[in-house]
Structure formats: C-alpha cells, structure tokens
C-alpha cells in the first residue's frame, strides 16, 4: 500500500499517543484502518493470528537495531521494554502493573497457575469443552494421574452456569475456562462465574487470548483470580510473550514452582575478590509480586517492544470502538449465512470477535474457493470461523459472501 495521508496518520497515532491513550479524536486512524497494515488479499482470520501493523513492525526493527549497533552498550538484559509493555496491558484490562507477570505463552501461564495451586488428587479442576484444546490436553493428562477433573459439555452452543455449579465438589479448587472460546466464540460471563466460584471457595482462571483487545475487560470488576493472554491475536503483537494477571490477594496461596534471576533482588556474592565474607551460596531475596512468583528467565524483549506499540494502538482506538466497528460486520454474516444452510455455532448474545458456522465438508468444499479469491478465514473439516478486525469493512464481508456457496 502507498503511504497515503491516512496511512501516515495511522502510523503516527500508534507511535505518538501517550500511555493514557486520551487522544485527540482527529488524530485517531479511521476505521476501517487499512492504511496501517500491508498484507495482501482479504484477511478475516485474526482469531488465528493478527497481522502486524507497519508501526509495530518498525518497533521490532528499532529494537533489533538497538541491539546490533545503535545502543549496543545498553545494560542488557536488565534495561528492557518489559515494564512499558506491562503498563500498557495493565491499562487495557484495568489491572495494576505489579499484578502482571510476563510468561512465554497463554498456555504456559495456565500451566504455571495449575502447578502453583498444587492441583492434585485432593484439589481438582472444572473446565468445559469450549476451553482451548491445549488446555483440555493438560487436564486430560492430569485426570490420568488421579486428579478430579470435570469437563462440562455444551448445550445449545452454550456452557450453562448451572452445570458448572452442579459439578463443584469439596475437592474442586479451580475453574479454568476460555473467556471467549477459540472455536465457537462462546463468551462466559466472568463476573457471574467468579461470584459463583468464590461463594464455594473455588478460584477462577480465564484464558483471555480471544478477548483481550477485542472486547472490554475489567479484571477488578469481574473478580477473576487469574487470567492470561498471548500477544499475537487481538493485542496485535507477535509470538513469544504473554501477560499473566494474578489477583494480589491470591499470591499467598501460590507456591513458586521455578526460580530464576527475574525473581531475585538484593543478590550478593561472597566468593570473589573483595566480596564481603559470607556463605558460598549468594545472599538474595525473592520478590513477592506476580513477577516474583512467575517470571523466571529472560523473555523476548523484542516481542515486548512490539507489544508496547501494538497495545498502545489498541488503547488509542479504544476497545469499545473496535468492537462497535466489528459489530455490523458480524451481524451481516449472522443474517445471511444461515439462509444459505450454514448452521450458527456462536450464540447471538456473544459480543466477541468470532463467529462460527457448521458446514459439512467445509475444508474440502470451501478452501479451494477461498484460496482462489485470496480470502483468508479459518476453515475446519466441518466448520468455518470468521474473525474480522480493524482493517476490515463491509466490502470484505460482501466479497466473502459472494464466494461462499449455498449448502
């Protein structure tokens, strides 16, 4: 794409807006914001991975340049983009930065919470069939080890809160769900779920990788105990870093399961020349915030530099504005595709960024048509998932509808 005035404004807005994201409206890129992105074709698979904008790519390039030449004497790795990226994410979900740890991925964050809670034969988990498939594999393996695991089946494309309630036993310690399900877009009511769980002494973990940046989230208002999101979907960054939120009054219930330099403070050696006397092992203290419990070694600083920029862009646009832009696009699909024999799998009350339809032999029948038209959505064996973002418009939706045949 050429560097039009719109593109320049889009890049400038994502670069220059302050952390508070209280931008002058005229400075905001328009929606759809096609000028900030450079991919070719029609892309409506952001739930799989979001394209990187020009400004975010430049942030990564700038970081690599600083490592290679411009800032080679910088005090790596302690002087890094971590805190700025965490502050942006904290602002996005109404959390305090001290309550967020950087981990490698969403699934890694969930595994760390499960380990830190001591999940075992006397401390079980309730999950549901719409949770992320990697997470279901985790709980399937724990079940083989004798951990009491209950997996709630959907009814009418929903997970009933009453079914979760009935599954809670004296041995239940954690309810683990995807806030917005990756496959169907089903959306849990986090506030209602947390209230139910806490009334029975149970904690709640939410995978928010399909909701953070796509729909408004307030972790304090929801009451959720733990949640985690990787950066490469609706946070519009890259692979290699995720943000794990831990409600501060739950920290004492969590044990450290790994130790590393990211957790230590006041470390003193006693073995080298001119060191003060002391034991051979160094003296040190461990931080007791979220980072002190869950950050271990060096994360991807480059990914965090990109996420600082991408989340600033999301916050500048505002998640509510992004959701409002997306709403009529999804509404058009909800209206038209059932008339053609595509069976809706996403409940109509869901406000998330995903809409899914069942279609027999979808991969075999539809994928060649979509490829020929240079349209990218997510196509499974017997279903399609469409997830538009800030660069899509109604013209993209109509192009897709022209390609998709009747069942």
Structure confidence by residue, pLDDT tens digits, 86-128 = 999 999 999 999 999 999 999 999 999 999 999 999 999 999 9
Q: DSSP characters for 76-97?
A: TTTSSSHHHHHHHHHHHHT--G
143 occurs within a structural domain: yes
pLDDT given for residue 344 in this prediction: 98
- Lowest mean pLDDT of 22-26, 223-227, 256-260, 394-398, name the range: 22-26
322 occurs within a structural domain: no
pLDDT higher than threshold 50 for residue 22: no
pTM assigned to the model: 0.90
Average pLDDT of span 169-185 = 98
Tell me the chain's radius of gyration from C-alpha atoms.
23
How many structural domains compose the chain? 1
Domain hosting 122: range is 82-308
167 occurs within a structural domain: yes
More confident residue, 191 or 19: 191
Instruction: State the DSSP code for 2.
Output: -
Which pLDDT band, with edges at 50, 70 and 90, does 73 fall under? confident
384-396 residue pLDDT tens: 999 999 999 999 9
Percentage of the chain beyond pLDDT 90 is 80
Instruction: State the DSSP code for 227.
Output: E
- Cβ neighbours of residue 149 under 8 Å, at least 6 residues apart? 124, 125, 126, 127, 139, 140, 142, 143
Average pLDDT of span 300-308 = 96
The CATH number linked to 118 is 3.40.640.10
Q: DSSP characters for 6-56?
A: HHHHHHHHHHH--TT----GGGSPPSS--TT----SEE-BTTT-PPPPHHH
Mean pLDDT of the chain: 91
181 occurs within a structural domain: yes
Euclidean distance between CA atoms 277 and 132, whole angstroms? 52
The residue with tokens 């208002």 is 221
pLDDT higher than threshold 60 for residue 7: no
> 375, 316 in Cβ contact below 8 A?
no
pLDDT given for residue 166 in this prediction: 98
pLDDT given for residue 367 in this prediction: 97
373 occurs within a structural domain: no
pLDDT given for residue 279 in this prediction: 82
More confident residue, 76 or 321: 321
63 occurs within a structural domain: no
Both tokens assigned to 93: 């979900």
**HEC secondary structure over 237-266:** CCCCCEEEEECHHHHHHCCCCCCCHHHEEE
390 occurs within a structural domain: no
65 occurs within a structural domain: no
Average pLDDT of span 260-283 = 85
50-65 residue pLDDT tens: 999 999 999 999 999 9
Both tokens assigned to 160: 């009933």
Euclidean distance between CA atoms 19 and 214, whole angstroms? 19
Both tokens assigned to 130: 């719409």
Which pLDDT band, with edges at 50, 70 and 90, does 161 fall under? very high
pLDDT given for residue 27 in this prediction: 66
Beta-bridge mates of residue 176 = 205
More confident residue, 73 or 354: 354
pLDDT higher than threshold 90 for residue 184: yes
**First-to-last C-alpha distance (Å) of the chain:** 36
Euclidean distance between CA atoms 13 and 139, whole angstroms? 43
> 244, 225 in Cβ contact below 8 A?
no
- Lowest mean pLDDT of 6-15, 70-79, 273-282, 356-365, name the range: 6-15
Average pLDDT of span 215-219 = 98
pLDDT higher than threshold 90 for residue 170: yes
């Amino acid at each position: 794409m050429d560097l039009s005035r719109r593109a320049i404004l889009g890049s400038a807005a994502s670069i220059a807006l302050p952390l508070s994201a209280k931008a002058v409206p005229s400075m905001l890129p328009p929606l759809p914001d096609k000028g900030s992105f450079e991919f070719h074709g029609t892309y409506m698979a952001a739930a799989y991975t979001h394209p990187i904008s020009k400004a975010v790519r430049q942030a990564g390039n700038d970081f690599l340049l600083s490592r290679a030449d411009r800032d080679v004497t910088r005090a790596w790795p302690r002087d890094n983009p971590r805190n700025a990226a965490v502050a942006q994410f904290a602002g996005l979900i109404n959390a305090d930065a001290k309550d967020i740890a950087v981990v490698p991925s969403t699934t890694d964050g969930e595994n760390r919470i499960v380990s830190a809670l001591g999940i075992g034969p006397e401390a079980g988990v309730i999950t549901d069939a719409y949770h992320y498939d990697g997470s279901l594999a985790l709980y399937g393996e724990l079940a083989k080890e004798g951990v009491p695991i209950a997996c709630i089946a959907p009814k009418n494309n929903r997970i009933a809160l009453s079914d979760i309630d009935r599954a809670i036993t004296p041995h239940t310690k954690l309810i683990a769900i995807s806030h917005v399900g990756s496959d169907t877009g089903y959306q849990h009511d986090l506030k209602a779920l947390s209230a139910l769980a806490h009334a029975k002494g149970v904690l709640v973990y939410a995978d928010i990788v399909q909701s953070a940046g796509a729909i408004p989230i307030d972790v304090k208002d929801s009451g959720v105990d733990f949640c985690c999101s990787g950066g490469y979907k609706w946070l519009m960054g890259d692979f290699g870093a995720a943000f794990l939120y831990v409600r501060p009054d739950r920290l004492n219930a969590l044990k450290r399961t790994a130790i590393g330099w990211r957790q230590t403070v006041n470390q003193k050696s006693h073995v080298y020349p001119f060191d003060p006397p002391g034991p051979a092992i160094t003296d040190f203290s461990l931080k007791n915030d979220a980072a002190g419990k869950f950050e271990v070694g060096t994360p991807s600083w480059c990914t965090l530099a990109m996420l600082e920029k991408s989340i600033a862009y999301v916050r500048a646009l505002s998640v509510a504005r992004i959701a409002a832009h997306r709403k009529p696009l999804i509404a058009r699909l909800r209206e038209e595709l059932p008339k053609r024999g595509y069976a809706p799998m996403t409940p109509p009350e869901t406000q998330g960024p995903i809409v899914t339809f069942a279609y027999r032999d979808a991969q075999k029948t539809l994928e060649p048509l979509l490829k020929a038209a240079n349209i990218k959505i997510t196509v499974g064996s017997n279903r399609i998932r469409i997830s538009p973002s800030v660069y899509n418009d109604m013209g993209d939706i109509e192009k897709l509808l022209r390609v998709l045949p009747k069942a």
